[in-house]
Structure 1
Amino acid sequence: MTGSIRSLLHPRTVAVIGASNDPSRIGGRPIEAMLLNSFMGEIYPVNPKYKTVQGLKTYPSISEVPARVDTAIIAVPAALTVEALRDCANAGVQSAIVFSSGFAEVGSSGREAQDAISAIAREQGIRVLGPNCLGSFHAESGWFGTFANAPSMIRLRSGPLGIVSQSGAYGAHVFLASQMRGLGATYWVSTGNEADVSVAEIIQFFASAPEVEIIVAYAEGVQDGPRLKEAFRMARVARKPVIFLKSGRSVAGAEAAATHTASLAGADSIYDALFRQYGVHRARTTEEAVHVAYSCQFGRFPKGRRIGVQTVSGGVGIQLADACEDFGLDVPELPDVAQKQLKELVPFASARNPVDFTAQVLNDPAVMKNAVGIAIEAGGCDAQIVYLSSVPGVQSARVSTLQIFKDIRDRYPDEHISLCFIASEEVTREYEALGYPCFQEPQHAIRSLAALARFHDSFDRPAEKTSFQDTRAAAIPARGPVSEMEAKRILANAGIRVVREVLVNSATEAVEAWRSFGCPVVLKIASADIPHKTEIGGVVLDLNDEGRVFAAYELLRSRASDLVPGARVDGVVVAEMVFGGVEAVAGIVVDPVFGPAVMFGLGGVLIEVLKDVVFRLAPFDAKEARQMIDEIRGRAVLDGVRGGQACDIDALAGALSRLSVFAHRHQGAIASVDINPLIVLPDGVVAVDALIVLREDVLHEA
């Protein structure tokens, strides 16, 4: 499989079907580009109309090409494409790039032809890029399997970047922006309609290709969720940063069932969960993607988020500190010993962090060298940002300033130091050659640094150790809707603690149950036909005397028969009231592309109004669950507020992990799960209410 993908990206023999003598035409552009850029391989034009094309011997059909063809470029009208691809497969061509449009992107009229392309690829083993794509290129070998004007975009011949994009035009934009930022690319790939080869598969190739160190990808949607997850896993294991630009919604969408959890989900939420889980940086703009990728090429990923800020401007130092907070970085006050040393160096400097060594550097450039050294050695930070204004480009200071940063790099070869200044491209390249990421806009430096720190966390994260064998999971019933009590029994058997409760069928039994609990109770109508009990007043809280329990039972039975006539009522649930702790919500939603995901959030206004929830794709371990918990905006509530006790985070993480394994094991049966509320106590968690919704096909089988 990898070999055939390589044939698309780095072929040695290329056939161009629909080859043209006119370099301005789609069938002529790849040939001209390869000829002008000394393609390290053989080119075989195919067109029955010509004896030669652009000086090359031309063949009437692919079957008459006298060599084993690695990849064929198909540049013929859509109506001829399927037959051309079939001819390639019959001739033993390993792979093909289909430029032609007029397939699934135009609707049902083109879907049948695209399905035929997929079938040929699947049945005959030929790999296909496209249709409706701009192809691929590998500038180092002179391979230009594209009709984009790629050679004119190239300023740097090669580099550590691999780019893949569903959109060819946007992928070309990303490539050019990267080139202009000083970041060279090894491979560039456009996948188009993805009748066969997808963005995910190209990322897998990049993850295993030693010449690619950084991956930038763009997609509107993904059809093969498991493959994308595996691609991200491979990249993380290979310690290769992935920067992903994702727009729109997933092709299939996230089909929301009528549950609280599902209503909070959506394709974008699931993509965010996937990116966070696998350490992928989701860029919101091209500029952000390029700046982050640019920073990655220097290969220094901070081990933490403690940042030392040094500047020639106190005002910019404040801006940098603010930006660090915005992007989740810490600007700690430097230790007393470091502040003392800095004050001795520049008595009028600000030495707390940010460190303002002022314009004194123009009079004595060595001040800067010593100040940076003190901050690194005594500051206890994980990375440094140095704002220099225009100093590196000042003619009188250029040589001495560059020498200072040569000395700093020699002394601290592993320290991540981002520089912020405005100077010519020539000056900037001098500092980049020393291993310094350079930025004109300080905020870009901060945002990129935050991404690098997250990459380090992801690379150093051990592999998940979710144990399927040790996690219990009850069978999912297939006889109809699941009642609340049955839902909680199922979850309890999966290792999630649930509230004590009993089902009763008379007011007298309700009173007896209350007495046996010896505490205040809740009464709830028990009916799988009434999944949302509160909507009919089917819950009565905080009952702690015989008369109220008796009356509540009669009230609930009356409401059920009056408001939901015909509903099957199993009885009334009597459950203990749970006091204290923090009310949370957990659940499962099954995304059509990526499968089951677990949702977690805090209850009340935080989830109803602010939608303060996070998702993770199942299954995951307790370590991942803790990271998930830490991402909610209301996280501090779990540590205890206004004198309250801190919640049991270990128990919460364990419950979420067990829920994820349950979701994974039963994804073929469940549509969604709600645990609302899930009470997080100082000594554990307990599910108070639960709803399991089965898939429609499971219900229909019952």
Structure 2
Amino acid sequence: MTPLPDSSTTPQGQVLPMETLSALLDPRTVAVIGASGDASRIGGRPIDYMTQLGYQGRILPVNPKHKVVQGLEAYQSIGALPETPDVAIIAVPASAAAQAVEELGARGTKAAIMFSAGFAEMGDDGAAAQEAILASAHRHGMRLLGPNCLGLFNARTGFYGTFTTSLERGSPVPGPIGIASQSGAYGMHLFGLARDHGLGLSCVVTTGNEADLNIGHMIGWMAQDPGTEVIAAYAEGIRDAESFLAALELARRNRKPVVMMKVGRSAVGSAAARSHTASIAGDDAVTDAVLAEYGVVRARTTEEMLDIARLATRRVYPAGNSLGVLTISGGAGVLISDAAEAIGLPMPEMPQAAQDELRAALPFCAPQNPVDCTAQALNDFSLIGRFAKSLVEDGGYGSILAFFTHAGGAASVAPKLREQMRGVREAHPDRLFVLSVLADPPLVEQFEADGFTVFEDPSRAVAAIHAMGRFGDAFAAPPREAPPAGGAVALPASTPSEAEAKRILAEAGIEAAPERACADAEAAVAAAEAIGFPVVMKILSPDILHKSEIGGVLLNVADAAAVREGFSLLMERAAKAAPQARIEGALVAKQLSGGVECILGVHRDPVFGPVAMFGLGGIFVEILKDVSFRRCPFGEAEAERMILSIKGAPLLQGARGRPPADIPALARMLSRLSLFAHQAGPRLSGIDLNPVFAMPAGQGAFAADAVIDIAENDA
């Protein structure tokens, strides 16, 4: 196996080096604190599993009441141990756990797995006790997994530091898939399903309360582990974004696909009421965007997660993926096409010349894609090889899905079918080949040995194939560009007015439409005449963020008389709708026309920090939520990719005869906004630029409205 890069540094931060966690995941000696002679008890199961399943290291049971535990010499205390264990399993009540950690640390033990519950999951008192234990461990340089965790196992070495009952139904099949899970029960549920479906595992780690080691650390270890090729992760929340993202980046660099189930919805709380961006990001769209940025495929179901992990073990990840389908059933071809279209997996037609050649070989075939070779192929098996070869060589598809249903599992068909398909696959090892057949397990094993992954359900196969292409695109992507340099940002003490917000953003290079703040009607008239009619007039107040909701925006103000009347009307509406608001006058701005309305914003995510949003204005953002997200900061090239990723991007590119918008100027504004948000720090709660007018190419992009929301405290 090719060695992995000898580096754990990523652009996001540090991944723990493998040796830091080797005592935890690959120990030579293990002490069991609270060891039990009863193999069905929590303190007895790890000893039973390790002795039964071939652990070659030394097991040191600690039990003050017994000299022998499950046939092994036991020791009355940690101090009585004959040697310092690499790792200790702590299976004592919470009341005794602190002393155990302190004594183990004093002995020089490098890591501990804490089964003990009754800590942060129980409230403030438990959280305080957990912090005290963590401080004790760190004082001695010891790392903790848990507390309140189900432990881990390393299938290659036979180390079973877990009390899961799932091992009673059978041991894991050693293999290349690693599982990291915050939930102990669900992590072992995934193990049980993987074992039942014959999926080979390298290790399973459950992290529990994550007082110290977290799911990011475990993914990082697997990203460096030569025996782990595919990583499956289950998370309910991310405690440490830096270690998590660093691990994902290292996995991407090392071509280790990560498939993840991230459950739960993030709540943005009161910020959603103040920020348009926050309300759109109020579900887990930010999590989706962050995972996609690192090439992580987010599984919707357990079944899909295991399907993707299984296919990923083929280690064929076609960048720019496209699907070619060979079928003996027209109906199945339609079903597969529908499934591919629904998830965005391209199925381009075969070249016309190739279609003509296939029709010449079989006049009543359907050679477009899906390529239906009909049941006639069962009379002439050479057609299968010929059609499959044409899909690969003429069609150029990155992935091939062949549907043979129960015919592929028939004893009279399978040997000849295997011969034809195997020849094509062996000639093209860079392509992904998947079969959909109904066959008995021994025959499925033969197909799998030939290099095909077998799915009964072709729709599930399509979802897994699509995931392989997403992995391939991530692995082929260049490193994330460095954002432009920027200095410190000085935020005001509280949320500024629109005019002040625009002034602050202008210092960061974010342009607004020409405008003036006016304290009275005559100043507004002078401003309008200087700017040029028509103008827009808006109430100017740091306490009224959403002006349109109170009628605080007037469009098409065409002359001086309309300006005076508009100023009076704005003051009336503000006094009626927000009598306590501070009113600074009115903002008079040039009314822009001919551009495409967009929205740019920033929302401070509680996990990932400032996240930028881009979308088109109006119905696209309000109803369709056709938006994209990226963590801040990022450069102009990434900003342009973000802009062009939305479904409405053709409207910016000149669809239906419209002039193309100034996308480079829009990307420049978005990148500068991301840098401003990153530099501003935690007091910046959010930013809304809505609308931003993307003018025709070469004419720039301008913010027509701006809100900078300042948090009331630094939390």
Question: What TM-score results when the alignment is normalised by the length of structure 2?
Answer: 0.93
In the other structure, the counterpart of 2:48 is 32
Counterpart among 676, 680, 692 of residue 708 in structure 2: 692
Shift of 1:527: 1.8
**2:455 maps to 1:439:** yes
Superposed, 1:529-548 pairs within 5 Å as 529-548=543-562
**2:670 maps to 1:681:** no
In the other structure, the counterpart of 2:99 is 83
1-structure distance, mates of 2:638, 2:337: 29
**What SS is found at the alignment partner of 1:689?**
coil
Shift of 1:245: 0.6
2-structure distance, mates of 1:252, 1:587: 15
2-structure distance, mates of 1:253, 1:280: 27
Shift of 1:431: 1.8
Q: Say if 1:498 and 1:686, in contact at 8 Å, map to a contact too.
A: yes
In the other structure, the counterpart of 1:429 is 445
1-structure distance, mates of 2:674, 2:491: 19
Q: Deviations over 1:222-280 (max 9, x none)?
A: 11112211111111111111111111135997954612111222362221121121111
Counterpart among 106, 112, 130 of residue 128 in structure 2: 112
**2:124 maps to 1:126:** no
Shift of 1:80: 1.1
In the other structure, the counterpart of 1:330 is 346
Q: Say if 2:222 and 2:231, in contact at 8 Å, map to a contact too.
A: yes
**What SS is found at the alignment partner of 1:22?**
coil
Shift of 1:307: 1.6
For the aligned residues, what is the CA RMSD? 2.1
Shift of 1:111: 2.2
1-structure distance, mates of 2:307, 2:379: 33
**What SS is found at the alignment partner of 2:713?**
helix
Shift of 1:642: 4.1
**What SS is found at the alignment partner of 2:675?**
helix
The one-letter amino acid paired with 1:82 is: A
**What SS is found at the alignment partner of 1:696?**
coil
Q: Say if 1:254 and 1:591, in contact at 8 Å, map to a contact too.
A: no
Counterpart among 72, 79, 91 of residue 63 in structure 1: 79
Is 396-405 or 24-33 further displaced after alignment? 396-405
In the other structure, the counterpart of 2:387 is 371
2-structure distance, mates of 1:88, 1:253: 42
**2:334 maps to 1:318:** yes
**What SS is found at the alignment partner of 2:205?**
strand
In the other structure, the counterpart of 1:460 is 476
Superposed, 1:344-359 pairs within 5 Å as 344-359=360-375
Shift of 1:605: 2.1
Counterpart among 464, 489, 500 of residue 503 in structure 2: 489
**What SS is found at the alignment partner of 1:160?**
strand
2-structure distance, mates of 1:218, 1:254: 28
Shift of 1:303: 2.0
What number of residue pairs does the alignment pair up? 697
Counterpart among 635, 639, 643 of residue 629 in structure 1: 643
1-structure distance, mates of 2:464, 2:640: 25
Change in 2 beyond 3 A, CA 1:35/1:454: same
Shift of 1:475: 3.3
**2:217 maps to 1:213:** no
In the other structure, the counterpart of 2:418 is 402
In the other structure, the counterpart of 1:380 is 396
**2:591 maps to 1:580:** no
Q: Deviations over 1:67-121 (max 9, x none)?
A: 2211101111122112111111111111111112222223334222222222223
In the other structure, the counterpart of 1:244 is 260
1-structure distance, mates of 2:45, 2:579: 72
Superposed, 1:601-640 pairs within 5 Å as 601-640=615-654
- Please list every run of 5 or more consecutive structure 2 residues that lacks an aligned counterpart in the other structure: 1-15
Counterpart among 230, 247, 252 of residue 231 in structure 1: 247
**What SS is found at the alignment partner of 2:65?**
coil
Shift of 1:177: 1.9
**What SS is found at the alignment partner of 1:624?**
helix
The one-letter amino acid paired with 1:401 is: L
Q: Deviations over 1:599-640 (max 9, x none)?
A: 222222222233333322111233433443344343343334
2-structure distance, mates of 1:466, 1:76: 49
The alignment-based identity, stated in percent, is 44
In the other structure, the counterpart of 1:568 is 582
Q: Say if 1:253 and 1:592, in contact at 8 Å, map to a contact too.
A: no
1-structure distance, mates of 2:268, 2:122: 17
Q: Deviations over 1:306-341 (max 9, x none)?
A: 221110101101111111101101211111111012
Q: Say if 1:7 and 1:95, in contact at 8 Å, map to a contact too.
A: yes
Q: Say if 1:257 and 1:671, in contact at 8 Å, map to a contact too.
A: no
Change in 2 beyond 3 A, CA 1:564/1:395: closer
The one-letter amino acid paired with 1:615 is: F
2-structure distance, mates of 1:620, 1:346: 54
Q: Deviations over 1:17-40 (max 9, x none)?
A: 111111111111111111111212
1-structure distance, mates of 2:470, 2:310: 15
Is 523-532 or 419-428 further displaced after alignment? 523-532
Question: What TM-score results when the alignment is normalised by the length of structure 1?
Answer: 0.95
Q: Say if 2:600 and 2:688, in contact at 8 Å, map to a contact too.
A: yes
1-structure distance, mates of 2:468, 2:269: 31
Q: Deviations over 1:401-438 (max 9, x none)?
A: 11222211221121112111111121112122222221
2-structure distance, mates of 1:230, 1:41: 32
1-structure distance, mates of 2:599, 2:562: 29
Superposed, 1:9-28 pairs within 5 Å as 9-28=25-44
Change in 2 beyond 3 A, CA 1:396/1:505: same
Shift of 1:476: 2.8
Is 233-242 or 102-111 further displaced after alignment? 102-111
**2:234 maps to 1:222:** no
Change in 2 beyond 3 A, CA 1:255/1:180: farther
2-structure distance, mates of 1:563, 1:415: 64
Change in 2 beyond 3 A, CA 1:74/1:230: same
2-structure distance, mates of 1:26, 1:180: 24
Q: Say if 2:494 and 2:712, in contact at 8 Å, map to a contact too.
A: no
**2:295 maps to 1:279:** yes
2-structure distance, mates of 1:153, 1:374: 46
2-structure distance, mates of 1:415, 1:260: 45
In the other structure, the counterpart of 1:592 is 606
Q: Say if 1:249 and 1:267, in contact at 8 Å, map to a contact too.
A: yes
2-structure distance, mates of 1:136, 1:636: 50
Q: Say if 2:149 and 2:207, in contact at 8 Å, map to a contact too.
A: yes
Shift of 1:381: 2.2
Q: Say if 2:484 and 2:635, in contact at 8 Å, map to a contact too.
A: no
- Please list every run of 5 or more consecutive structure 1 residues that lacks an aligned counterpart in the other structure: none
**What SS is found at the alignment partner of 2:516?**
strand
Counterpart among 512, 532, 546 of residue 526 in structure 2: 512
